[in-house]
Amino acid sequence: MEASKVIHAIYTDDDVLMSAVKTVKAEKHHIEEIYTPFPVHGLDKAMGLAPTRIAIAAFMYGCVGLTVAIVMMNFIMIEDWPQNIGGKPSFSYIENMPAFVPIMFELTVFFAAHLMVITFYLRSKMWPFKKAENPDPRTTDDHFLMEIAVHDNEKELSSLLQETGAVEINIIDKAH
């Protein structure tokens, strides 16, 4: 694919950034990406990002963990070798269930937490030795960067961004 151009507008204040996002959205430009040094409250709403579904994933992982715990202990303690250990009733799962609850609980939490974190890493493409995708190192410290694709409207876009209070506007060729 041919090289396309993007505009990088840099801000130094999150409030200015927020109002800039609202202006740019109102002008119906598509914001490709925003780089911030810290979470800006309400930015996702202003950008119109879809809400995360990671909590739903975590709930399902928790259900998996609970099932694993129940199936595991039912097999080990009740079906495979139902020993009499200190008089605990091992005739059926339900009879000995209170003793299994701590493990059922912990495995539910374990699966929900760990699989959710792994899902998060996969979905946000983060892993060790991953090449940082940072367009400007200052965005990790005290600058905010908004990236907008250019479609033969450089002039118009730069003046719009200038008005929103950007301290720096760069046009960058980006190879896809």
Report the b/e string of 18-46 with b at 16+ CB within 10 A. Answer: bebbeebeeeebebeebbbeeebeebeeb
Q: How far is the CB of 59 from another protein (least distance, A)?
A: 7
User: Burial, 52: exposed, middle or buried (Cβ in 10 Å; 0-12, 13-18, 19+)?
Assistant: exposed
Number of neighbours of residue 112 by Cβ within 10 angstroms: 21
- Does 99 contact another protein by CB under 8 A? yes
Q: How far is the CB of 77 from another protein (least distance, A)?
A: 14
> Quick one: 49 or 101, whose CB is closer to another protein?
101
What's the rounded Cα separation, in Å, for the pair 19 and 11? 11
101, 118, 122, 171: which one contacts another protein (CB under 8 A)?
101
Which part of the chain contacts another protein (CB under 8 A), choosing from 93-101, 107-115, 124-132, 154-162? 93-101
> Quick one: 39 or 87, whose CB is closer to another protein?
87
1, 38, 83, 87: which one contacts another protein (CB under 8 A)?
87
